[in-house]
Structure 1
Amino acid sequence: MNVPNRITDRPERQMLEYMLDHTRAELIDTVRGLSETESRRRLVVSRTTSIGLVKHAAFAERKWFQHILGGLPESECDGAMVGEASFEVSDDETVADVIAEFERASDRARAIAADVGLDATRHHPACGTVSLRWIYLLIIQEFARHAGHSDILREQTAATRRT
């Protein structure tokens, strides 16, 4: 992991924001360079695809930052707000489109969180009271896990190219 000089002793918020941005970039990197066909290839029993993982990450940004933290009704969020369908990518969406959607959602998440303290709390219908700190940690964990999934799919794709 390439960590910028002295990020490890910065204030907590800077470290959390750095790690979140790092996991966002790692997830995007797992689909960059894949063809449209490769990004949609299903190599596991579930319907998980590399492009679908990035699409789902955009949904997670909207759900947690726009809806929960920002208090926007789901109808006013910048895209699909349906959980399981959040992995689905339409035939007319490209890898570049999905990356751009994720980057827009991430930019909006940063803007919403910018003026909120780490200890500020919001209500989530299933989780109860959550703080911005908890949201950061949850999203870092989720994006890191999905980047790992997508890394494995990318390795499997590379192996099928060689055979």
Structure 2
Amino acid sequence: MPDAARPDLPPSFGVGQADQRIMLTTFLDEHRAAATAVLDGLTDEEARRSLVLSPTTVLGLVKHLTLVETIWFTELLLGSTRAELGLPATPAESFLLQDRDSVESVRHAHAEACARSRQAISGRALDEVITGHRFGPMTLGWILTHCIRETAQHVGHAEILREQILAARH
């Protein structure tokens, strides 16, 4: 973990010499935390606000990241089916908000999905080959790396939208 004398550093700075699994899971957990942090202090109306031409919203981005966690870990690693999980037909649909979606409900669903993801990788080796995905066989290490990339990308989008929302308050 980070040096206690440097509380300004994220946890990933404390794992620079750790094994690859610890590095990957620490980076992913940092991005997972950032995904829900973008919702902090936003009202439901603000989090639903569309500021770009696409249906992308801060709340929709976190909802999509819940789908990402569910597809890559619960569906692929635990063998649950899309029907059992109630997943949308396409990733694009996961950005769309329902009336029941709120900051708290989406935050809760994301936390549950991340907890299931951690459980799904428990005891698995990074070089374990996972089959059953439309892209073909891949290692757990690849899946973790892909999820870090996708989560970081969408958190960046959400942070920009959040900045616009907060700026509009003034």
- TM category (shorter chain) comes to over 0.9
TM-score, normalising length: structure 2: 0.88
User: 1:98-157: per-residue Cα shift (whole Å, max 9, x none)?
Assistant: 000000000001001112111111225432111110110011111101110001001111
What percent identity do the matched residue pairs reach? 35
Q: Which residue of 75, 79, 86 maps to 1:71? A: 79
- 2:121 corresponds to which residue? 113
1:48 aligns with 2:35: no
Q: Which residue of 6, 9, 16 maps to 2:17? A: 9
Asked if the contact 1:118/1:131 (under 8 Å) is kept, the reply is yes
Residue 80 of structure 2 aligns with an amino acid whose one-letter code is L
Q: Which moved more, 1:121-130 or 1:63-72?
A: 121-130
Asked if the contact 2:76/2:133 (under 8 Å) is kept, the reply is no
Cα distance in 1 for partners of 2:10, 2:100 equals: 37
Cα distance in 1 for partners of 2:123, 2:82 equals: 21
Aligned-residue RMSD, C-alpha: 1.5
Cα distance in 1 for partners of 2:121, 2:22 equals: 12
Cα distance in 2 for partners of 1:2, 1:45 equals: 36
- 2:98 corresponds to which residue? 90
Asked if the contact 2:51/2:161 (under 8 Å) is kept, the reply is yes
TM-score, normalising length: structure 1: 0.92
Q: Which residue of 29, 33, 39 maps to 1:31? A: 39
1:80 aligns with 2:87: yes
Cα distance in 2 for partners of 1:158, 1:90 equals: 23
Cα distance in 2 for partners of 1:20, 1:118 equals: 14
